[in-house]
Amino acid sequence: MAQMTLLQAINDALKTEMRRDNRVVVFGEDVGVNEGVFRATEGLTKEFGEERAFSTPLTETGIVGAAIGMAVYGLKPVPEIQFADYIYPAFDQVVSELAKFRYRSGGEYSCPVVIRTPYGGGIRGGLYHSQSPEAYFTHTPGLKVVIPSTPEDAKGLLASAIRGEDPVIFLEPKKIYRSVKGEVPEGEFTVPIGPARVVQEGSDLSIFCYGAMVEPCRLAAEKALEKEGIRCEIIDLRTLYPVDEEAILASVRKTGRALIVYEAPKTSGYGAEIAALIAERAVEYLEAPIKRIGGFDTPFPYTLEKIYVPDAIRIFLGIKDVMAFE
């Protein structure tokens, strides 16, 4: 297997799927000749031509609207929104049109659009380049929401999203675009949308996380074992909708304690959904209150980014807090 960064794995998935299926088209701001703001679309225009990999004007509403039309007429569009923060002008197209096409047409039309977009903090992008909008989309029936944390999953999950027949919001944690490297199968390769991944098994506490939060959770768990003898189980959710409910419940039933980590603002963040799921279906197994560690309830702060985004120290203290309850 080849060693790739998460960004290279995404590029590899796009090329592999475009070679496999000539209906796959990729477009967005600077996606063509300039090969994307992060170079995720490097080499696509050169190999597949400007009819299948091209740049668009600065119009997120137009990008998503065009993708919907292409999908209805039989193409497999993979539009890129340059930063997740820019998706809000297209919000109505996504939640009112894209998400509902199958339902409003009584199943006559599907709308297989995969919207790729980098999200989250960690690169000093400031207020308008660092937001985590996953909760908006998991609240919209009709959309699948996927977030990889490893190069292997990035390639496999993106390929599955492209091969599906319904819309997917594919959020890419840009903080780890180049900092994470791993083995990735060459050629055609898929990872099913839905199942979570057990990063490590443990018996004392369950940590639920996704995207760029997986690595600080792993480091915090390592410290908890070394300093306190606490054995944490870490679950990378990978797919936020549909989420792997059974994997979450099985882990909580085993450990009796739950910590949920995400970098979006804490209030009404995605972690609340996981907490509610555990409370509804596994409360009798809990030995301590469920704890959430998220970003703070402020606009994303440029100068205080390292404080805002949960790190291994905050997560380690969260682990100790949950374990201290008797």
Q: For the chain, which residues score pLDDT lower than 70?
A: none
Where are the strands (E) in the chain, listed by range? 2-5, 24-28, 53-55, 76-80, 114-119, 144-146, 168-173, 181-184, 197-200, 205-209, 232-236, 239-241, 258-265, 291-295
The distance in angstroms from the start CA to the end CA of the chain is 47
Length, in residues, of the chain:
326
Q: Which of 15, 76, 102, 129 is catalytic?
A: 129
Residue 40 is predicted with a pLDDT of 97
* Predicted structure pTM score: 0.97
Asked about 129 being catalytic, the answer comes back as yes
Residue 203 is predicted with a pLDDT of 98
